[in-house]
Chains A and B, each alone.
Chain A
Amino acid sequence: MTRLPRPARTSLALGAALCTLAGAAACSSSASSGEGGDGGPAGAYTWWDPYPQHDDSSGWAQRVAKCGTEAGVTIERTAYDTTALTNQALLAAQEGTSPDIILLDNPAVSTLAETGMLTTMEEFGLDTSGIDENLLAAGVLDDQAYGIPIGANTLALYYNQQVLDEAGVDPASVTDWDSLTAALEQVTGAGHKGITFAAIGTEEGSFQFLPWFWGAGADLRDLSSADAVEALELWSGWLESGYAPNSVINNSQNTTWEEFLTGDFGFALNGTWQVNSAAEAGFPTGVLPVPAQDGGAAPAPTGGEFITAPVQDDTARYEVTKKIVECMTTPEGMVETATTFAYYIPPTADGQQQLLADSPDLRPWVDAVRVARGRTSDNLGTDYPKISEALWTAVQKALSGAADPADALAEAQAAAEDEIG
């Protein structure tokens, strides 16, 4: 497939042209569409996923290839950056060249389902009853599941045992917001830095704020509630008191983790995907669930990908696609995925039991995933991205001092209502 078919070449040229001039709208290169969908040689099934860090020689690529071999076909895998993947999928669907399978970041599932480009799992005859309901919910729109989670991750508080020991803080004492703030005060009092998190003006910022937002009892349909204001005041209070550095306003989750790895911070809010890195850090670390305002674990947002099957013109392809999906979603398959990535918790009770039998250290993460909540759940669907944009803008305004938390959230609620209409 080094030579693109003629229509693909034309669309490539047009796509490239579109990008050059009207870069802001309507495009990113459609170069890949020539390799996707129906254009592939017979027996080849196309597969897109958001893991460019795993190249063709990686364990993940081999696992994907094996599922193809078992189904009697070869799989052509293409990896994109997470945000690029959604745009590529939209463009491919527009041109009728969708791949057979896309692994989608969970909040994107309802967006793409909304376009009508995804098949439902019911159409495929795939049973989703064994999947934990809170994890499946992100891919459910109007009672139809548009994908199956291949694994889930979520957020929790990592702590630096050495820093806490020096400050005389017992991690077990951190059970609610007050005790956490008290611990931060002790840590900064001992000459260390308190906590770092990511409040950047993108989806990552909302993702990190949600455990606190939900932990206060707030609801995404009402951003300006008193509970929501308290959650934002918790964050802005930490910045004012110097418990969190000012740079969190511009931090991505990766930057946050880099800061934590300097060994100077007591706590860091980060995800299951850092488990291995935490184990290799130059200091002992531990994990706490994000505390809710009045104690107990706050629901954290779920992360992780769904396996989805876009609609094809040639429905005869579905039979094999179903086999590939099944191969990825058996309990053994889920555990294999979890260990291949070293950070995915299987979304079924069976899978979780098997994973814990292999690696009991992951227990806090399994517990966290069980109480986690999908961002697009409760039928928020495609409203979520609009609400999320308003939310992260409010967080940024409050933390940077451009507005006080109550005003920022009131503005956000107005903006979200305006967008949703």
Chain B
Amino acid sequence: MPVTTTSAPRLRKPGGAEAGLPASAPRPPARVRVRSTQWAALGFLAPLIVYLLACYAYPLYRNIDLSLHDYTVRSFVQGGADFAGLENYRDVLTDDGFLPALRNTFLFTFVSIAAQYAIGLALAVFFRNNFRLSAVLRGMFLVPWLLPLIVSGSTWAWMLNSDNGIVNTVLESFGAGRINWLTDPGWALVSVIIANIWLGVPFNLVILYSGLQNIPEELYEAAALDGANAWQQFWRITFPLLRPVSGITLLLGLVYTLKVVDVIWIMTTGGPGGASTTLAVWSYREAFGTGLPDFSPAAAIGNLLLLIALAFGFLYLHLQRRQERT
């Protein structure tokens, strides 16, 4: 409720000004001109509207349509699927695999983005001090982002192989025991999280680094004159001033991470026996992972993911508004 009261006056201000304009200047020819420019404006908007309808509205409608019907392969081809209402959602929510998948999704997402953000921020601050070859080094940190996922996923799977993987070879040479990274139900999720953190650090590094460029140098000079050490400078200047950039980085990271399928699918196919299955992987498996495509539950799971992402989107907006107010 307080959100609407703060935003309403801001909206009213430009609206009121526009409404006042034709009222204070009632000239008929001007009105005609306004109308023709409106048509032109609509004309310019049309491609965007078509794009939005074709690329966002229709797929979303189709996904909801799929999830509310009981599509079999037969009705997928011939049409006439039975309307199932929320049956698919009920099946998904009461499935034995749902709670573990939900738990895995949240673990995967939050551990990934927390670590990606922390490491990305540490590196961004590190690279803020320009030193020799820092640009080259920064460029090299982008490699995980540039590699095709099938390459990096396979490489991680190969490095974490129980018997021949380099990680276990190193562990064993230091006297530590062997870990069945991808094949132990307790480690499979950890393994895919590690790989996903590695993949997401460059994104965080780039965004946070560009955010750092916008913090005026004088603030650090003033803080240094006041006797603030590096640690204090970070917590009193860098971190608070980076908050808007951090917010959007975390939100984007969350949306990207929630829907990750490829890394997990390549490394473990969600196994062993569902131990690393997230909601996104589950949805993919229903639709494409077995010999019999089952689109309706897949769409239902996909829509649940959309809802989760949407909820966090609203949370972000809420936090942002609250911050603007203070």
Stretch from B2-10, B30-38, B243-251, B273-281 contacting the other chain: B273-281
Q: Is A140 an interface residue (CB 8 A)?
A: no
Q: Which chain B residues lie closer than 8 Å to A114 at the CB level? A: 72-74
A399–B271 Cα distance when bound, in Å, is 11
Given contacts A20-B59, A26-B62, A86-B291, contact A249 B271 (CB under 8 A): yes
- Among A94, A388, A394, A402, which residue has its beta carbon within 8 angstroms of that of B185? A402
Let me know if B73 and A382 touch, CB within 8 A. Answer: yes
B55 touches A247 (CB 8 A): no
Q: Which residues of A contact B274 (CB under 8 A)?
A: 393, 396-397
Is the beta-carbon distance between A408 and B273 smaller than 8 angstroms? yes
Contact of A396 among B163, B273, B290, B299 (CB under 8 A): B273
Contacting pair A201 B163 (CB below 8 A): no
Query: Inside 8 A of B63's CB, which chain A residues have their CB?
Result: 21-22, 25-26
* A-contact 0/1 string along B261-277, CB 8 Å cutoff: 10000001111111100
Q: Is A112 an interface residue (CB 8 A)?
A: yes
By beta carbon, the residue of chain A nearest B50 is A13
Find chain A residues with CB under 8 A from B301 CB: 24
By a CB distance below 8 angstroms, the chain B residues around A385 are 290-292
Asked whether A22 lies within 8 Å of B302 as measured between CB atoms, the reply is yes
B73 touches A17 (CB 8 A): no
A residues near B291, Cβ cutoff 8 Å: 86, 107-108, 111, 203, 384-385, 388
Count A/B pairs, Cβ under 8 Å: 167
- Interface residue? A217 (CB, 8 A): no
B126 at the interface (CB under 8 A from A): no
Does A93 have its Cβ within 8 Å of any Cβ on chain B? yes
Chain A interface SS verdict (over half): helix
Chain B residues lying within 8 Å of A107, measured Cβ to Cβ, are 291
Q: Please indicate the chain A residues that have their CB under 8 angstroms from the CB of B96 in the complex.
A: 415
| CB neighbors of B among A1-45 (8 A) | 13-14, 17-18, 20-26, 28
Which A residues are in CB contact (< 8 Å) with B305? 24
Q: Which residues 60-85 of B have a CB within 8 angstroms of A?
A: 60, 62-63, 66-67, 72-74, 76-78
Partner of B183, one of A14, A20, A249: A249
Interface size in chain A (residues, C-beta < 8 A): 52
Q: Taking the complex as formed, is B298 at the interface, i.e. its CB lies under 8 A from any CB of chain A?
A: yes
Say whether A181 faces chain B, with CB atoms less than 8 Å apart. Answer: no
Shortest CB-to-CB span from B249 to chain A, Å, is: 22
Q: A94-B76, A250-B271, A396-B273 are in contact. Are A245 and B302 (CB under 8 A)?
A: no
- Residue in A closest to B279 when the chains form the complex, CB atoms: A24
| Contact digits for A113-127, partner B, Cβ 8 Å, 1 yes 0 no | 011110000000000
Does A79 belong to the interface (CB within 8 Å)? no
Determine how close the nearest CB of chain A comes to the CB of B91; give it in whole angstroms.
9
Q: Is the beta-carbon distance between A249 and B73 smaller than 8 angstroms?
A: no
Contact residues in A for B299 (Cβ distance below 8 Å): 22, 24-26
Partner of A400, one of B73, B74, B273, B288: B273
- Say yes or no: B59 contacts A201, CB within 8 Å: no
* Contact call A247/B293, Cβ cutoff below 8 A: no
Q: Which residues of B contact A132 (CB under 8 A)?
A: none
Asked whether A247 and B66 contact (CB < 8 A) given A21-B56, A26-B287, A201-B271, the answer is: no
The chain B residue with its CB closest to the CB of A414 is B96
B58 touches A14 (CB 8 A): yes
The smallest C-beta distance from B58 to any residue of chain A, in angstroms, reads 6
B271 and A86: CB pair below 8 A? no
| Set of chain A residues within 8 Å of B60, measured between Cβ atoms | 21-22
Q: Is the CB of A13 within 8 A of B74?
A: no
Main secondary structure of the interface of B (DSSP, over half): helix
Q: Is the CB of A21 within 8 A of B59?
A: yes
Docked pose: A394 CA to B184 CA in angstroms: 14
Chain B residues contacting A117 (CB-CB under 8 Å) are 77
Contact B74 A200 (CB under 8 A): no
A13 contacts B54, CB within 8 Å?
yes
- B303 CB, nearest partner CB in chain A, Å: 9
Q: Given A18-B62, A402-B185, are A203 and B290 neighbors across the interface (CB < 8 Å)?
A: yes
List the B side residues contacting A247 at CB < 8 Å: 161-164, 182-183
Q: Which of these, B55, B259, B261, B272, contacts A402 with CB under 8 Å?
A: B272
Complex contacts, A400 vs chain B, CB 8 Å: 180, 183-185, 271-273, 275
Within 8 A of B (CB), among A346-389: 382, 384-386, 388-389
Q: Are A246 and B54 interface neighbours, CB within 8 A?
A: no
Q: Does A202 contact B (CB under 8 A)?
A: yes
- Closest chain B residue, CB of each to CB of A98: B77
Q: A18-B62, A24-B280, A245-B163 are in contact. Are A397 and B272 (CB under 8 A)?
A: yes
Measured in the bound complex, the distance between the Cα atoms of B59 and A353 in whole Å is 54
Contact with B along A172-192 (1 / 0, CB 8 A): 000000000000000000000
What is the minimal beta-carbon distance from B282 to any residue of chain A, in angstroms?
9
Known: A22-B59, A115-B78. A250 touches B302 (CB 8 A): no
For window 104-124 of chain B, which residues contact chain A by CB distance below 8 Å? none
Tell me whether A25 and B183 are in contact in the complex, defined as CB-CB below 8 angstroms, given that A14-B58, A115-B74 are known contacts.
Answer: no
B293 and A86: CB pair below 8 A?
A: yes
Query: Contacts of B180 on A, CB cut-off 8 Å?
Result: 246, 400
> Quick one: closest A residue to B282, CB to CB?
A24
Is the pair B272, A396 in contact by a Cβ cutoff of 8 Å? yes
By the criterion CB–CB under 8 Å, are B292 and A382 in contact? yes
Bound-state CA distance A94–B274 (Å) is 32
Q: Knowing A115-B76, A116-B74, A116-B78 touch, does A24 contact B269 (C-beta < 8 A)?
A: no
**From B56, B60, B291, residue with most partner A Cβ within 10 Å:** B291
Does B205 make an interface contact (CB < 8 A)? no
- B77:A250 contact, CB within 8 angstroms: no
| A284 contacts partner chain B, Cβ-Cβ < 8 Å | no
Tell me which of B56, B162, B275, B283 contacts A245 (CB under 8 A): B162
User: How distant is the Cα of A389 from the Cα of B290 in the complex, in angstroms?
Assistant: 7
A88 to chain B, nearest CB (A): 11
User: How far apart are B14's CB and chain A's nearest CB, in angstroms?
Assistant: 32
A74 within 8 A of B: no
User: How many angstroms from the CA of A386 to the CA of B290 in the assembled complex?
Assistant: 8
A62 to B163, CA, bound (A): 43
Q: Which residues of B contact A17 (CB under 8 A)?
A: 54-56, 58-59
A-B contact pairs, 8 of them (CB 8 A): A20-B55, A20-B59, A21-B59, A24-B261, A116-B74, A247-B162, A382-B73, A388-B290
Closest 3 CB pairs of A and B: A385-B291, A397-B273, A385-B292
Binding site for A on B (CB under 8 A): 54-56, 58-60, 62-63, 66-67, 72-74, 76-78, 96, 157, 161-164, 180, 182-185, 259, 261, 268-275, 280, 283-285, 287-293, 295, 298-299, 301-302, 305
15 A-B pairs besides A22-B62, A24-B280 with CB distance below 8 A are A17-B59, A18-B62, A23-B259, A25-B63, A26-B62, A111-B73, A111-B292, A116-B78, A249-B183, A250-B161, A250-B268, A250-B271, A396-B271, A400-B184, A401-B185
